Amino acid sequence: MDTMKLTKIVGGVCGALLVYLLINWGAESMYHMGGGHAEGEHKAGYEIEVAEASSTETAEEGPSFEDMMASADAEKGKKVFSKCKACHKTDDGVNSTGPYLFDVVDREIGKIAGYKYSAGMAGIGGNWDAATLDTFLKKPKDMIADTKMSFSGLKKATDRVNLIAYLQTIK
């Protein structure tokens, strides 16, 4: 390799590096959000003022649970139940990882024969009415901290009411 070729290669690399550094410097100066400014000095960026909500204002709520249950769709709930199939069966008396869900609506909580519930579930008392099921299905660990159910819950209220409507049909 002769000197001229080597000089061209080194010049090309240095030129590319120079262009890269110039672009980097230009972008940094245009978009710099850095700190280090003393109080009252100019800062890059925009400050957006947000009005604070007063404590008397309430968030607008959606339809009531009863209204949602009145318009629930059991067929859609059957599709939501596909998330439950791995651990629960709908056949009477057939337990799986979780207890069977045949006739679960209005059944006593944690009291079916042949299934070993956690202490929290067995001791909660009451019945699985629609409102209690809704609370449990939203986030099971919030209602019963030591539940064996590892499911994280159903976030959408429509999914929960549709599932409850489906569970009401399993008798």
pLDDT score for 106 = 92
Q: How confident is the model at residue 38 (pLDDT cuts 50, 70, 90)?
A: low
Question: Positive or negative, the Cα torsion across 107, 108, 110, 115?
Answer: negative
pLDDT score for 47 = 72
pLDDT score for 8 = 94
All domains of the chain in start order, with CATH:
65-169 (1.10.760.10)
Average pLDDT over residues 40-56: 64
pLDDT score for 43 = 58
pLDDT score for 42 = 57
pLDDT in tens, 102-140: 999 999 998 888 889 888 888 888 999 999 999 999 998
Minimum mean pLDDT among 36-40, 50-54, 71-75, 144-148: which range?
A: 36-40
Q: Is 65 helix (H, G, I), strand (E, B) or coil?
A: helix
Looking at the predicted structure, is the pLDDT value of residue 4 above 90?
yes
Q: Is 127 helix (H, G, I), strand (E, B) or coil?
A: strand
Q: How confident is the model at residue 15 (pLDDT cuts 50, 70, 90)?
A: very high
pLDDT score for 99 = 92
Q: How buried is 118 (Cβ within 10 angstroms: 0-12 exposed, 13-18 middle, 19+ buried)?
A: middle
Q: How confident is the model at residue 150 (pLDDT cuts 50, 70, 90)?
A: confident
Q: How confident is the model at residue 45 (pLDDT cuts 50, 70, 90)?
A: low
Average pLDDT over residues 8-15: 95
